[in-house]
């Protein structure tokens, strides 16, 4: 069965979302489009929270968010338990976000990457496994810190 990957953006990320949806579908994923559906102005948290909730509850393994800088989407997504949303602006950062941080949400800054660059970033994030080992302990400490507050 194909892995379901949710993807969502605000207006700034809409065009890139459409092109990455096609890419994910071509790669064989079942793409779940959580909006937005046009370039009309919207509020990024309205899209980040539903996607992050799916990752947080384990309904899906991973998801993709897109806004202008990547920042607003990552702030909102990272409020959810077990979500590690990483803004990546090149494939190296995306690979490290997987290897060291086990990032389960990729956040793309649509205003600062080309569609071709975004595809390469997406591919690196999809293909790179978590290194585990010492990084496992560090990632676990993210959750512990949150729980004790």
Place of tokens 């790179």: 128
User: Residue 27, class by beta-carbon neighbours within 10 Å (0-12 exposed, 13-18 middle, 19+ buried)?
Assistant: middle
DSSP string, 27-45: TT-EEEE----SSS---TH
State which of positions 104-133 bind ligand RB5 (CB under 6 A). none
100 belongs to the catalytic site: yes
Q: By C-beta, is 22 or 71 nearer to ligand RB5?
A: 71
Supply the minimum distance, in Å, between the C-beta of residue 44 and ligand RB5: 5
Q: By C-beta, is 35 or 68 nearer to ligand RB5?
A: 68
State which of positions 55-94 bind ligand RB5 (CB under 6 A). 67-69, 71-72
Cα–Cα distance between 29 and 34 in angstroms, integer? 15
Chosen residue from 7, 12, 64, 76 binding ligand RB5 by CB under 6 A: 12
44 is a contact residue toward ligand RB5 (CB under 6 A): yes
How far does Cα 143 stand from its chain's mean position? 18
Q: Which residues are catalytic?
A: 67, 100
Binding-site ranges for ligand RB5 (CB under 6 A): 10, 12, 44, 67-69, 71-72
């Amino acid at each position: 069965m194909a892995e379901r990957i949710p993807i969502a953006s605000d207006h700034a990320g809409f065009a890139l979302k459409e092109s990455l949806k096609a890419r994910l579908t071509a790669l064989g994923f079942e793409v779940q489009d959580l909006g937005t559906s046009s370039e009309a102005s919207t509020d990024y948290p309205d899209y980040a929270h539903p996607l992050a909730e799916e990752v947080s509850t384990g309904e899906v393994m991973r998801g993709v968010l897109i806004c202008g800088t990547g920042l607003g989407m990552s702030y909102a997504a990272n409020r959810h338990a077990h979500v590690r949303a990483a803004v990546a602006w090149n494939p190296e950062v995306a690979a490290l976000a997987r290897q060291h941080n086990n990032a389960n949400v990729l956040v793309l800054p649509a205003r600062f990457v080309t569609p071709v660059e975004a595809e390469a970033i997406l591919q690196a994030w999809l293909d790179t496994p978590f290194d585990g080992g010492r990084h496992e302990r560090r990632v676990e400490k993210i959750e512990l810190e949150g729980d004790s507050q």
